[in-house]
């Protein structure tokens, strides 16, 4: 009997899950994607929008790739899941399932910090990035006509992945230098974390610290914001930092909470780590930003999607699963003049103050490197992934991925340690 597999979400976790399942099972599963958006957004590259990239270059329609894969696509907003009836309630009516993968992502809740929504520019949505483009242009105009300006980057508690904000601070520094305005702008980077990019261990902290020093960026750790007022941010340690432009990555919450499923205090669906199966629900999985893994990142979403889809495919095919979720972050941090590559094996600690740490038994996989050549690697990934999804193919499968993986390993062997 053909199994009805429904995948909620049209982002990294959703498309990867759907296309991996179809690649594995062919006609043994009827796969349906449900998403409230008609387009896929290559979100990691929205960091280029404030510096001139047209947003439409990062989007493409989901439906054509789904058709090529033999996957159904329903554009609708998910309202809830009924695990007993095995139905998803949507704005287009109920969608029945035999098995379900939830990949509806995360959202931001800036209102948790008094004044943050009123006085800061966020970086979560395309509209916010377009707004930031205008703010950056005005910043340069003010600096060149009025003199000294102050930019403050702010990471508040409950942010689940501050990497893009680090990219933006380095990109802004390089961009201002190229416009001969850097000497007129004082840049401060503040975070609640004990170390910079805390989740990714000491090597990333050391890289960021060196870059901040070399670029004249004032970096502050253990600065927990209490409230924001016009022109200044106030912190629990008594510090008060003025700004002309405040750029922030607000606290995370689940984009779509599910009252019928177990979840944590921020609405993220609780799962079994290795399988991504929802606790107490053997036919439901949750991956990516919608699930409870403490770090939210595209590459980790891919790994979770592959693990969930493989577990599900193996069950349907009556086989042993070929893989499970082994959390390893991989990212390339853009700086415009160069980039930083990081591959970080992670483990969950259970400590809410430091929810993940570098996996001690896998230190040989912990690699960090800085080079202008990594910018080419990031550009290549930005071409490869949309090509795969446009073709209705999973990111992590087939000979093209094997070639890409070998190339990344070769680069990391030479350019990272």
Three-state DSSP string of 253-313: EECCCCCCCCECCCCCECECCCCCEECCCCCEEECHHHECCCCCCHHHHHHHHHHHHHHHH
Domain boundary among 251, 270, 293: 251
- pLDDT for 352: 85
Average pLDDT over the chain reads 95
Q: Which CA distances in Å does 194 have to 157, 199, 291, 413?
A: 11, 10, 24, 29
Helix (H) or strand (E) holding 116: helix 116-119
DSSP label of 72: E
CA distance 133 to 52: 7
For residues 369 and 300, membership in a common domain is answered with yes
**pLDDT per residue as tens digits for the range 102-142:** 999 999 999 999 999 999 999 999 999 999 999 999 999 99
CA distance 275 to 257: 21
For residues 159 and 75, membership in a common domain is answered with no
Domain boundary among 226, 251, 276: 251
- pLDDT for 350: 87
Phi, psi for residue 220 in degrees, rounded to 5: -130, 125
Helix (H) or strand (E) holding 331: strand 328-334
For residues 28 and 155, membership in a common domain is answered with no
**pLDDT per residue as tens digits for the range 162-183:** 999 999 999 999 999 999 999 9
Range of the domain at 304: 3-105+255-415
For residues 408 and 261, membership in a common domain is answered with yes
For residues 367 and 388, membership in a common domain is answered with yes
Query: What is 174-225 written as a DSSP string?
Result: HHHHHTT-GGGEEEEEEESSSSTTGGGHHHHHHHHHHHHHHHT-EEE-S--E
Closest CA to 332 of 147, 228, 200: 200
Give the total residue count for the chain: 417
Enter the tokens of residue 198. Answer: 């805390």
Averaged pLDDT for residues 199-206: 93
Q: In the block, which residue shows the tokens 């054509």?
A: 64
CA distance 86 to 95: 9
C-alpha triplet 293, 299, 304: angle, nearest 5°? 50
Count of domains observed in the chain? 2
Half-sphere exposure of 176 (CA within 13 A, CB side): 28
The contacts of residue 45 (CB under 8 Å, 6+ apart) are 53, 58, 382
For residues 272 and 230, membership in a common domain is answered with no
Enter the tokens of residue 214. Answer: 């070399």
For residues 211 and 343, membership in a common domain is answered with no
For residues 98 and 240, membership in a common domain is answered with no
Domain boundary among 189, 221, 251: 251
Q: Which CA distances in Å does 154 have to 138, 171, 177, 349, 398?
A: 20, 16, 22, 25, 40
CA distance 128 to 232: 20
For residues 89 and 199, membership in a common domain is answered with no
Cα torsion angle, 331, 335, 340, 345, sign:
negative
For residues 274 and 410, membership in a common domain is answered with yes
C-alpha triplet 299, 301, 305: angle, nearest 5°? 120
Enter the tokens of residue 182. Answer: 């850097």
Half-sphere exposure of 220 (CA within 13 A, CB side): 20
For residues 82 and 41, membership in a common domain is answered with yes
- pLDDT for 257: 94
CA distance 163 to 334: 10
For residues 325 and 276, membership in a common domain is answered with yes
Averaged pLDDT for residues 225-242: 98
CA distance 290 to 252: 10
**pLDDT per residue as tens digits for the range 61-85:** 999 999 999 999 999 999 999 999 9
- pLDDT for 405: 67
- In CATH, what number is assigned to the domain containing residue 58? 3.50.50.100
- pLDDT for 397: 74
CA distance 345 to 343: 7
**pLDDT per residue as tens digits for the range 321-376:** 999 999 999 999 999 999 999 999 999 998 888 899 999 898 888 999 999 999 99
- pLDDT for 362: 87
- In CATH, what number is assigned to the domain containing residue 211? 3.50.50.60
């Amino acid at each position: 009997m053909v199994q009805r597999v429904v995948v909620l979400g049209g982002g990294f976790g959703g498309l990867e899950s759907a296309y991996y399942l179809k690649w594995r099972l062919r006609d043994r599963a009827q796969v349906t994607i449900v998403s409230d958006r008609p387009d896929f957004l290559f979100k990691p590259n929205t960091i280029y929008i404030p510096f001139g990239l047209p947003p439409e270059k990062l989007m493409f329609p989901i439906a054509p790739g789904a058709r090529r894969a033999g996957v159904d696509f329903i554009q609708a907003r998910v309202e809830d899941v009924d695990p007993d009836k095995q139905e998803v309630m949507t704005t287009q009516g109920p969608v029945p399932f035999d098995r379900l993968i939830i990949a509806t992502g995360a959202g931001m809740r800036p209102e948790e910090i008094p004044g943050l929504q009123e006085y800061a520019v966020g970086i979560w949505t395309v509209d916010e990035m377009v707004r930031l483009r205008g703010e950056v242009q005005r910043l340069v105009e003010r600096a060149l006509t009025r003199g000294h300006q102050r930019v403050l980057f702010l990471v508040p508690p409950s942010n689940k992945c501050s990497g893009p904000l680090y990219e933006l601070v380095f990109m802004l520094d390089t961009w201002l230098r190229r416009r001969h305005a850097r000497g007129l702008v004082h840049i401060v980077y503040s975070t609640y974390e004990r170390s910079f990019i805390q989740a990714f261990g000491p090597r990333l902290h050391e890289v960021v610290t060196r870059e901040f020093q070399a670029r004249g960026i004032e970096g502050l750790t253990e600065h927990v914001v209490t409230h924001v007022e016009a022109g200044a941010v106030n912190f629990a340690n008594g510090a008060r930092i003025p700004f002309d432009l405040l750029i922030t990555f607000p606290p995370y919450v689940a984009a779509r909470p599910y009252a019928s499923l177990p979840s944590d205090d921020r609405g993220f669906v609780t799962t079994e780590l290795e399988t991504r199966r929802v606790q107490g629900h053997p036919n439901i999985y949750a991956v990516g930003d919608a699930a409870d893994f403490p770090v939210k990142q595209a590459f980790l979403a891919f790994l979770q999607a592959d693990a969930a889809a493989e577990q599900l495919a193996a069950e349907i095919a009556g086989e042993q699963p070929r893989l499970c979720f082994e959390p390893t972050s991989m990212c390339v941090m853009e700086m415009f003049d160069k980039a930083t590559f990081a591959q970080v094996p992670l483990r969950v600690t259970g400590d809410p103050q430091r929810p993940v740490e570098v996996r001690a038994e896998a230190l040989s996989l912990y690699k960090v490197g800085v080079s202008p050549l990594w910018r080419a690697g990031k550009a290549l990934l930005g071409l490869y992934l949309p090509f795969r999804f446009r073709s209705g193919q999973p990111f992590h499968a087939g000979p093209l991925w094997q070639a890409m993986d070998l190339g990344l390993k070769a680069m990391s062997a030479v350019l990272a340690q």
